[in-house]
């Protein structure tokens, strides 16, 4: 049987209609109940100027670089600014990945598919983000990853990256394909912790020359990248007809008409030179192919271990077996990385690989450093990686978006955003220093 409510049923009084606006008319008294008085604060009145004055905060719109960068509170917002200000070819070269870009999407998604497990009622009035990596302190648990052609994205390029890292007290890695020399970066950031990334060649004289220059310039760490037997298929670059330096075509000239600042900067600064090569003109694919050596094996790593006396880090580790093998061949650290999704599409995701590598290293009793990159877009991503066992993290695009958004000041902004994110996330997790982060702070969803 169903019950219907009759409005004229004397036993049922319809409820007054719900409304957010307080009624000014006197409430209808329920039978037998006195009308409730309306509080003075709820009675309508005309606003006075003295009420409005404190609310009026019209500010003169600001168009300076500083104001533009300050308005970005996330790395994604820096990316939006970067996209508006950078010609399509260099923006896509940075933003894009290999083939269908599945690896990059999955790597970013992996950081989102977690749940943090916070501890409450801990004293988190002071958060310490400092850590130690490869025998030296770093003010933050993140460093700058090696990136090639950086002055093409924005003319301050490697100088902005290395100086921002120096100011933030974190390591900076110069790429073999960097557009500033090892010596120039050392001179630009003399108090910074500069690392050098090497593309190893079986032509040992060519490698040796670079290694010696890196040592002489004070680099304490050599990062050898091993996930580049051949170049990945960066389809956006193919579509954009990307060349180094960018060629003046009808398309690029049109592009220049609404990104004049980029072109002005590009044309009025020193032409691109490379850390390791003399001036180069050709397609990216040609240059990359000349850099990558498909004949390399672990024997070449042994040679490098004998030759280089500082910290040796192997970047591009994608399986537990290879992480172990790299350590067996003398690596002081590994970077779990798939090159930001720019090489093999559908590659393993470093964040997924991390717990297995951590477990293997603990079982082997090795204290080789575990670093991780690919997909980091916020400080919370970094905190999650540290909780699951990473000793350190690296950022590629996150700093390049800052660079393209505003040169050195933009890289500073990237690091400020990440630092703030990390400090806030740790406080909300109830953790005041990095060593207190444990796998218990992260639950992997969809597992």
Residues with catalytic roles: 339
List of residues 6+ apart from 427 with CB closer than 8 A: 124, 127
Q: Please classify residue 286 by burial: count the beta carbons closer than 10 Å to its beta carbon, then call 0-12 exposed, 13-18 middle and 19+ buried.
A: middle
Residue 82: CB minimum distance to ligand FMN, A = 12
Name residues whose C-beta falls within 8 Å of residue 85's C-beta, 6 or more positions apart in sequence. 259, 261, 262, 404, 405
Residue 343 binding ligand FMN, by CB under 6 A: no
Using the minimum distance from each CB to ligand FMN, give the nearer residue, 394 or 437.
394
The one among 141, 143, 146, 402 contacting ligand FMN by CB under 6 A: 146
- Residue count, binding to ligand FMN (CB under 6 A): 24
Residue ranges in 383-402 that form contacts with ligand FMN under rule CB under 6 A: 395-398, 400
DSSP string for 257-321: HT-HHHHHHHHTS-----SSSS---EEHHHHHHHH--TT--HHHHHHHHHH--SEEEEEEE-SHH
Shorter beta-carbon distance to ligand FMN: residue 198 or 431:
198
Give every CB contact of residue 194 below 8 A, 6+ residues apart in sequence. 162, 171, 172, 173, 174, 185, 186, 217, 218, 219
- For ligand FMN, the binding residues in 285-304 under the rule CB under 6 A are none
Nearer to ligand FMN among residue 93 and residue 195 (C-beta): 93
Cα–Cα dist 227/210, whole Å: 19
Instruction: Yes or no: say if 168 and 140 are a contact pair by the CB < 8 Å rule.
Output: yes
d(CA 138, CA 1): 73
Task: At 212, list the tokens.
Answer: 């010696």
Return the structure tokens found at 354: 């991390």
Position 339 contacts ligand FMN (CB under 6 A): yes
Cα 209 off chain centre by: 31
* CB nearer ligand FMN, residue 375 or residue 407: 375
Task: Return the range that interacts with ligand FMN (CB under 6 A); candidates 18-26, 72-80, 296-304, 332-340.
Answer: 332-340
Site string for ligand FMN, 148-187 (x = CB under 6 A): x--------------------------x-x----------
User: Which of 294, 177, 171 has its CA nearest to residue 227?
Assistant: 294
Q: Could you say which residues in the range 248-277 bind ligand FMN, by CB under 6 A?
A: none
Q: How far is the CB of 198 from ligand FMN (least distance, A)?
A: 9
Chain position whose Cβ is nearest to ligand FMN? 396
Which range in 21-29, 35-43, 121-129, 337-345 contacts ligand FMN by CB under 6 A? Answer: 337-345
Which residues in 152-172 are b (16+ Cβ under 10 Å) and which e? bbbbbbbbbbbbbbbbbebbb
SS3 for 15?
Answer: coil
**What is the contact mask toward ligand FMN in residues 192 to 221, using x (rule: CB under 6 A)?**
-----x------------------------
Let me know: does 93 contact 154? Beta carbons within 8 Å: no
Nearer to ligand FMN, 376 or 380 (CB): 376
- Beta carbons within 8 Å of 53's beta carbon, 6+ residues apart: none
Q: Is 225 in the site for ligand FMN (CB under 6 A)?
A: yes
> Does residue number 147 form part of the binding site for ligand FMN (CB under 6 A)?
yes
Residue numbers 345-384 binding ligand FMN by CB under 6 A: 373-376
Closer of 69 and 145 to ligand FMN (Cβ)? 145
Choose the stretch contacting ligand FMN; rule: CB under 6 A; options: 79-87, 114-122, 143-151, 403-411: 143-151
**Interface contacts to ligand FMN, rule CB under 6 A:** 93-94, 145-148, 175, 177, 197, 225, 315, 337, 339-340, 342, 373-376, 395-398, 400
């Amino acid at each position: 049987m169903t019950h219907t409510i009759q409005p004229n049923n004397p036993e049922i009084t319809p409820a007054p209609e719900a409304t957010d606006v307080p009624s000014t008319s006197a409430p209808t008294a329920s039978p037998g109940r006195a009308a409730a008085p309306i509080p003075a604060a709820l009675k309508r009145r005309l606003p006075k100027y003295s009420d409005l004055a404190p609310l009026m905060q019209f500010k003169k719109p600001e168009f300076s670089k500083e104001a533009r960068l300050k308005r970005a509170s996330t790395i994604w917002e820096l990316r939006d600014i970067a996209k508006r200000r950078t010609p399509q070819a260099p923006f896509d070269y940075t933003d894009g990945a290999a083939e269908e870009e599945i690896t990059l999407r999955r790597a970013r998604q992996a950081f989102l598919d977690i749940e943090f497990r916070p501890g409450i009622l801990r004293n988190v009035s002071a958060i310490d983000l400092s850590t130690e990596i490869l025998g030296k302190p770093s003010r933050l648990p993140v460093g700058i990853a090696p990136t090639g052609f950086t002055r093409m994205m924005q003319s301050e390029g490697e100088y902005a990256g290395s100086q921002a890292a120096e100011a933030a007290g974190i390591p900076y890695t110069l790429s073999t394909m960097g557009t500033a020399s090892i010596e120039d970066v050392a001179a630009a950031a003399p108090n910074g912790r500069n690392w050098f990334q090497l593309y190893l060649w079986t032509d040992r004289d060519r490698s040796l020359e670079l290694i010696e220059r890196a040592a002489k310039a004070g680099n304490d760490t050599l990062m050898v990248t091993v996930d580049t037997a051949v170049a990945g298929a960066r389809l956006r670059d193919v579509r954009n007809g990307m060349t180094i330096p960018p060629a003046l075509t009808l398309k690029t000239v049109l592009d220049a008409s609404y990104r004049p600042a980029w072109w002005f900067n590009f044309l009025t600064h020193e032409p691109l030179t490379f850390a390791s090569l003399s001036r180069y003109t050709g397609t990216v694919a040609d240059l990359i192919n000349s850099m990558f050596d498909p004949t390399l094996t672990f024997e070449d790593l042994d040679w490098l271990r004998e030759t280089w006396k500082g910290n040796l880090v192997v970047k591009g580790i994608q399986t537990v077996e290879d992480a172990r093998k790299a350590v067996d061949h003398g690596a002081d650290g590994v970077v779990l990385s798939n090159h930001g999704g720019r090489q093999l599409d559908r590659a393993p995701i470093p964040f997924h690989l991390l717990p297995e590598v951590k477990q293997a290293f603990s079982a082997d009793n090795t204290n080789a450093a575990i670093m991780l990159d690919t997909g980091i877009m916020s400080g919370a991503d970094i905190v999650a990686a540290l909780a699951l066992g990473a000793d350190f993290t690296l950022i590629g695009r996150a700093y390049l978006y800052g660079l393209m958004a505003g040169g050195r000041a933009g890289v500073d902004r990237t690091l400020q955003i990440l630092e703030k994110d990390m400090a806030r996330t740790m406080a909300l997790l109830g953790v005041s220093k990095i060593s207190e982060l444990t796998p218990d702070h992260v639950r992997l969803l969809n597992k």
